[in-house]
Amino acid sequence: MARKNAWPSRKKNLPQFWRRVSKPEAERDEMRRWSEDLKRLRRVDMDQRKAWQYFRTPLDVIEKRLGVDISGMARALAEKRDGKSQVKILDLGCGRGTALAQLKQLLGASVKTVGVVEERTPKEGYSGVDRLLVGNMLQLQPRETYDVIFSHMGAVHHTPLQTTAVERVIGWLKPEGTAALEVRHAFAEGSLVVQEVLTVLAQNGIKDWKYKGNVLVFKKPAPRVP
């Protein structure tokens, strides 16, 4: 993955005071926790009313916005596995599951599509979604890991707890898995959040990342063989 990002420099020695192990992000910054609580109530209401701008966004629009060929990546993995195991794809903020349904139409049983919504919309069938996870992504505990995780104007974008969200995505990725996340506009060069996220990426051995146009893309490294 080519490194193309809006940050002109990287600090070789990350500041010691960014140690995430000392205190969770929501406890470290009261304003972020308070803002997250308010936004969570709004997200539930908008999910129920199908009011999100991205609720029916097609796959090709999402791929163009994120700059990642999700379907091509999934197809290549499926061909490599030759039916031995499914390619697992997670959409954080899937709306009615339009993009996931299109992936299912393209690749059939070779992919497992999983979507996250804050609240299940009444009478919505979520056709094409093999499994629907309902709740706040910062509190969900998926029972599996994923080859591809993406979020277009979804759960990652809408939480003020950006560092925590990125940490959780890293934990849900399989080794060599790819994440493409649209992040908040406040995720600006030189900000506190940027420094925290850079630290989290470094702590997890992630050097293969890029950031452009409020989209963060990274690949989780494979474990080292002794």
What digits encode the pLDDT tens for the residues 150-205? 998 888 887 878 888 999 999 999 999 999 999 876 565 556 777 888 888 998 99
Q: What is d(CA 91, CA 222) in angstroms, rounded to the nearest whole number?
A: 22
Secondary structure string (H, E, C) spanning 15-30: CHHHCHHHCCHHHHCH
The verdict on pTM exceeding 0.75 is: yes
Locus of tokens 């992936």: 103
Which of the four pLDDT bands, split at 50, 70 and 90, describes residue 28? low
Q: How does pLDDT run across 81-136, given as a tens digit for each residue?
A: 998 999 999 999 888 899 999 999 999 999 999 999 988 887 888 889 999 999 98
Contact present, 19 and 30 (Cβ < 8 Å): no
Which of the four pLDDT bands, split at 50, 70 and 90, describes residue 146? very high
Q: Is the dihedral of CA 13, 15, 21, 24 positive or negative?
A: negative
Q: Which residues contact 29 (CB under 8 A, 6 or more apart)?
A: none
pLDDT for 5 beyond 60: no
22 vs 181, more confident: 181
Q: What is d(CA 114, CA 102) in angstroms, rounded to the nearest whole number?
A: 13
- Taking CA atoms, 122 is separated from 46, 48, 49, 126, in Å, by 12, 7, 9, 11
Phi/psi of residue 76, nearest 5 degrees: -60, -40
The edge-to-edge listing of strands for the beta sheet with 173-182 is 131-134, 111-117, 87-92, 146-151, 173-182, 215-219, 209-212
pLDDT for 7 beyond 50: no
pLDDT for 11 beyond 70: no
CATH number of 24-219: 3.40.50.150
Neighbours of 19 (CB within 10 A): 11
What single DSSP character describes residue 96?
T
Q: What pLDDT was estimated at residue 23?
A: 59
pLDDT for 16 beyond 50: no
Phi/psi of residue 108, nearest 5 degrees: 60, -140
Beta strands 215-219; 209-212: pairing state: antiparallel
Q: What is d(CA 98, CA 59) in angstroms, rounded to the nearest whole number?
A: 7
Contact present, 65 and 182 (Cβ < 8 Å): yes
SS3 category, 66 = helix
Which of the four pLDDT bands, split at 50, 70 and 90, describes residue 19? very low
Domain boundaries, the chain: 24-219
Q: What pLDDT was estimated at residue 44?
A: 67
